[in-house]
Amino acid sequence: MSLPHALLGLIRYRPATGYDLKNTFENSIHFFWNAALPHIYRTLKQMETQGWIVSNVEPGEGKPDRKVYRLTEAGEKEFLRWLSQPPENPEPRLPMLVKVFFARQMPVREFKEHLEKWRAHYAGLLEKYEKEVAAVIEQYSLRYDASEDACYWRLTLDYGIRQAKMVIEWCDHALEGLQTAATPPNGLDAHNPG
Amino acid sequence: MSLPHALLGLIRYRPATGYDLKNTFENSIHFFWNAALPHIYRTLKQMETQGWIVSNVEPGEGKPDRKVYRLTEAGEKEFLRWLSQPPENPEPRLPMLVKVFFARQMPVREFKEHLEKWRAHYAGLLEKYEKEVAAVIEQYSLRYDASEDACYWRLTLDYGIRQAKMVIEWCDHALEGLQTAATPPNGLDAHNPG
DNA sequence: CGAACCATGTAATTGGTTACATGATTGT
DNA sequence: ACAATCATGTAACCAATTACATGGTTCG
């Protein structure tokens, strides 16, 4: 699995707490990876026993203490090893497509609502990617002194944008099809006749 | 989660064993949902205690016994209830994109190999979808007497095709970018100078 | 005679989410 | 006073994969 390796990659830029890492997930790579806080804390603990990272508690003056993790040499090595492994092919699980597959069993009106909600979700993502995320990439590439990395970050953003556009187009295509083909002659839907 | 509901939907067409259901997954909806056999067996057992399905052991003459599940009224009701719920938005986890994000840390040559492998995977899927799956849809719509469902099945297939094309185009775009921009002036890659 | 297919499952482990618990600081 | 943010985590649960175990049939 990739969570420990995603964490290694982020800690590599600079030492961080679990809380920091959650934030980084949220405003940088959340559109192709995310993790809940408890999951992150648990994974960090496992990584420490593996010897990939070490922690150091910084007493917070006034603020809560910070348990800051940094990479060990073993962690560095493991991260590079993982990077060089060929990519895993994802096995997608899309409940929405399961609903589409069985959509005959529901009123056409309801199915349209589903499609519109899905479309709206991806339209929202697309807007976010094109506005916010592009800006965040610039910001981070300065903060982490990683301007050479930025082109790869933009590549992942480009993936997100293409994905969102694809889904939006598919939704439009599906909605069009329903308009013309699936409407019963009398204009009422299949499950609420009369 | 959707596995029990995907199973309800399939059993609804006709009673089936866990083994049957695994096969149906494999050659119909595997590109947006899949499940391993043990997972299916366990889920079927849970669904039976919930009262959504009932089993009936058909002694196999010569062959192994078949434990055939069919829908109850409660199962039918639950399935339709689930269908009418608004779709869940997926939280994708794409280890490949994590590698892309950190790709600065690996030799360009290696990164290209990753991209080419990913591209090949989706090119393979695309071919499969366009040839095999389209045929399977026809075949199943006859076998299950479900010609009215076929247009929805085609919609999911269309999604798979668009997804595959999107990834292929993105890979090509990324590879192009590497050719022109990321090659060091001397033509050697960043991690193996000299 | 061996490989592939039919058909069942259990046990163990990993990966991920949700609910719960604590306590200080900052801003409205 | 109240909510939000910073910061830690534990416990319980659900979802999914992998390894293990069994045994008959059919086809080459």
Higher pLDDT, A49 or A193: A49
Sequential pLDDT tens for chain B (194 residues): 789 999 999 999 999 999 999 999 988 888 899 999 999 999 999 999 999 999 999 876 667 788 999 999 999 999 999 999 999 999 899 999 999 999 999 999 999 999 999 999 999 999 989 987 778 787 777 776 677 899 999 999 999 999 999 999 999 999 999 886 545 544 444 444 32
pLDDT recorded at residue B61 = 63
Q: How many CB atoms lie within 10 A of CB B69?
A: 24
Give yes or no for CB of B34 within 7 Å of strand D: yes
Per-residue pLDDT of B15-33, as tens digits, reads: 999 999 999 998 888 889 9
Per-residue pLDDT of A15-62, as tens digits, reads: 999 999 999 988 888 889 999 999 999 999 999 999 999 999 987 666
Instruction: Determine the distance in angstroms separating the CA of A64 from the nearest CA of chain B, rounded to an integer.
Output: 31
pLDDT recorded at residue B29 = 87
> Residue A74 — pLDDT band, cuts 50, 70, 90?
very high
Instruction: Determine the distance in angstroms separating the CA of A55 from the nearest CA of chain B, rounded to an integer.
Output: 23
Q: Where are the beta strands (DSSP E) in chain B?
A: 53-58, 66-71
pLDDT recorded at residue A61 = 64
Give yes or no for CB of B11 within 7 Å of strand D: no
Encoded tokens for A159: 């993936």
Phi and psi torsions of B12, nearest 5°: -60, -35
> Residue A193 — pLDDT band, cuts 50, 70, 90?
very low
Domain boundaries, chain B: 3-84, 95-182
Instruction: Determine the distance in angstroms separating the CA of A15 from the nearest CA of chain B, rounded to an integer.
Output: 16
Q: Which bases in strand D are touched by protein, i.e. have an atom under 7 Å from a CB?
A: 6-12, 14-19, 23-26
Residue type, B36: A
B42: the nucleotide nearest its CA (via C1') is: C9
Task: Please tell me if residue B192 touches chain A, with a CB cutoff of 8 Å.
Answer: no
Handedness of CA A180, B160, B100, B178 (dihedral sign): negative
Residue type, A160: G
What is the residue whose two structure tokens read 């899949």?
B34
Give yes or no for CB of B58 within 7 Å of strand C: no
Can you tell me the distance from the alpha carbon of B18 to that of B79, in angstroms, rounded to the nearest whole number?
18
CATH (residue range B3-84): 1.10.10.10
Coil vs helix vs strand at B188? coil
Interface of B with A in 19-38 (CB under 8 A): 29, 31-34
The answer for B51, left when phi > 0, alpha when psi is -120 to 50, beta otherwise, is: left
Pairwise CB contact (< 8 Å): A87 & B79 = no
Encoded tokens for A184: 């019963």
Pairwise CB contact (< 8 Å): A151 & B117 = no
CA–C1' B45–C9 (A): 11
Handedness of CA A135, A139, A144, A145 (dihedral sign): positive
Residue A80 · residue A143 · CB < 8 Å: no
Q: Is the pTM of this model over 0.75?
A: yes
C-alpha distance from residue A38 to each of A8, A43, A102, B57 (Å):
17, 8, 36, 44
Per-residue pLDDT of B123-132, as tens digits, reads: 999 998 998 7
